[in-house]
Amino acid sequence: MNNQPSISLVIPSFNRRGVLVKSIQMLLDQTVPAHDILVVDQSTEIPPEVSIQLEQWHTEKKIRWIRQEAPNASMARNRGALESSGDIVVFLDDDIVVASDFVASYQRAFTDPEVLAVSGQILEGGRETVVALDLRATDPNIGWLFCKRNYDKPMIGNFVISANMGVRRAEFLAVGGMDERFMRGAFREESDFSQRWWKSGRVIHYRPDVSLYHLGGAGVADGGARHWTRKTHWMGWHHYFGSWYFLLNHATWKSLPYLLALDLRSAGFNKRTLKTPWMIPFHFCRWLSAFPYALWCRCAGPRLIGQAHSSRTA
């Protein structure tokens, strides 16, 4: 096992309660232990029982519990990568269920030194594996829009989901990590990273054997990035900002119609907004209001690891 790559697990967390503890316990009970487990906690409120357990694990050096004041998922992932020491950084959500060989499956996926990034399978409530893939999924311009996180066959892909993605630490840092311009839950953060990764000539391997179950899709009530948008009928402003910012950075003439259609759907034509159709103009105004700041950020440039204007909480 000495020639196997070491695995660091990075888990950004926000106001998560018991499910975080359960997720970490499963990651501790692995047949092959992780090199280190870093929980980057941005919580504004932590129940005493959760705090006590995290502090105990931290004291016992089973995990590293890192507190971050600024609630920003991209910043948390970058900080975790910077403070990790494994060959491979695996980013996970804080509400997952994994098998006891999960870390071992990532080791197997990175045994080949030519593999630089792996996107793992994500199963959610009501979603079984799919055996067919849209033919557009292999298109270099728009394929990432049609990749399925629950596909059952390995492939060379062009998209990662931060709930289950692994990357060689040195390569992650080389491309600048995540763009910290993305706010809070960092909508479109992974799309931006995937595009920068692909444009740099690097490849993403999709591996269905590196699989987990994401509880968020089953409606976990407490905390998480979606806590910021848990309204009955609208998305958070940072969601609209992320849409515009990504579009301004990466849209092509081929992908632009798809991206605008997705944005219009999230802004006004979806199950939530159609329950209150009189609110649709309000949603469109919120969507449009995010454009000026997204344009300013596009002109100012990204906040990546290693750049002087990248700001992280100490």
From CA 150, how far away is CA 7, in angstroms rounded? 23
Cα–Cα nearest to 237, from 182, 198, 200: 182
Q: Find the helix or strand (DSSP H, E) in which 120 lies.
A: strand 117-123
pLDDT of 311 over the 70 cut: no
Report the CATH superfamily, name and number, of domain 7-218.
Spore Coat Polysaccharide Biosynthesis Protein SpsA; Chain A (3.90.550.10)
CB-CB contact of 89 with 172 (8 Å):
yes
From CA 86, how far away is CA 14, in angstroms rounded? 24
For 216-262, write each residue's pLDDT tens digit. Answer: 844 454 555 545 444 445 678 999 999 999 999 999 898 899 889 88
pLDDT value for 310: 42
For 274-297, write each residue's pLDDT tens digit. Answer: 777 787 888 888 889 999 999 999
pTM for the model: 0.90
Q: Which amino acid is residue 131, in one-letter code?
A: V
**Between 129 and 299, residue with greater pLDDT:** 299
pLDDT value for 88: 99
Query: Would you kindly state where each structural domain of the chain is located, as residue ranges?
Result: 7-218, 225-300
CB-CB contact of 245 with 297 (8 Å):
yes
- 2 band by pLDDT with thresholds 50, 70 and 90: low
Q: What share of the chain in percent tops pLDDT 90?
A: 61
Region for residue 310 given its phi and psi (left: phi exceeds 0; alpha: psi -120 to 50; beta: otherwise): beta
Torsion of CA 108, 166, 69, 217, to 10 degrees: -100
Kindly report the backbone phi and psi dihedral angles of residue 212, in degrees, each rounded to the nearest multiple of 5, phi listed first: -145, 165
Q: How far is CA 235 from the centre of its chain?
A: 18
